[in-house]
Amino acid sequence: MNFRDRREAGRLLAGALRGVAGLEGAAVLALPRGGVPVGYEVARELGLPLDVLVVRKLGVPGEEELALGAVAGGGVMVVNAEIVRSFGIPRGQIEELAGRARAEIARREALYRGERGALDVTGRTVILVDDGLATGSTMKAAAQLLRPVAGRLVVAVPVGSRGAFEELQREADRVVCLETPEPFFAVGEFYGQFAQTSDAEVTELLAMSWQRPG
């Protein structure tokens, strides 16, 4: 399945989520930036509130597209030990990358929300949305952050690698993924339009969602 863009993927994902029981009163948390257009459509179609959960991928030095792990708020860090070992990345370098990532998380949260506080998801069903799963490191960090507070955790993505899909099943109560094609090289290959989502678009979509009645 190829998606025209993230918004179309979100609408299709929402259709699949309608068949999942127990989503009444749920909240949608999207991973910026690319997950927000997807999450916006999911929240709009299902009539649910939307917020962001900022998570930063840690790229292998010199091979930044390859994730060695990810950092989320609350001090959560997920590290792929196999990649760290393969590239011989020292612990100090990982901590330096994580420090920069945490500073960026704080900046983005302030930018996206302004004076608005984070959505309280304590005890609620949370639908955690991104535009796809490659290694799954970013989503795994997000899931581990939410697991202690959410009543139920549903990970929802339009497309993902089979390995990441299976790993996330150990982190969430339910994983909804429209396609798990093999071989899987990159999320963008399954989208007709996959331009980088801007901070401005994230802020606009959040504002539109927050202004919806109910």
Q: Give the rounded distance of the alpha carbon of 206 from its chain centre.
A: 15
Q: What is the pLDDT of residue 27?
A: 97
Q: What is the pLDDT of residue 213?
A: 63
Pairing of strands 77-79, 63-72: antiparallel
Q: Report d(CA 73, CA 103) in Å as an integer.
A: 10
Per-residue pLDDT in tens (0 to 9) along the chain, 214 residues? 799 999 999 999 999 999 899 899 999 999 999 999 999 999 999 999 999 999 888 999 998 878 898 888 777 888 889 999 999 999 999 999 999 999 999 899 899 988 888 899 999 999 999 999 998 988 998 998 898 899 999 999 999 999 999 999 999 999 999 999 999 999 999 999 999 999 999 999 999 998 876 5
Query: Class assignment of domain 6-54+117-211?
Result: alpha beta
Q: What's the number of CA atoms in the CB half-sphere (13 Å) around residue 83?
A: 18
Q: What is the pLDDT of residue 117?
A: 85
Q: What is the pLDDT of residue 42?
A: 98
The residue ranges of every structural domain in the chain are: 6-54+117-211, 57-111
Q: Give the rounded distance of the alpha carbon of 185 from its chain centre.
A: 18
Q: What is the pLDDT of residue 188?
A: 95
Range 89-94 contact pairs with CB under 8 angstroms and sequence separation of 24 or more: 89/60, 89/61, 93/61, 94/58, 94/68, 94/69
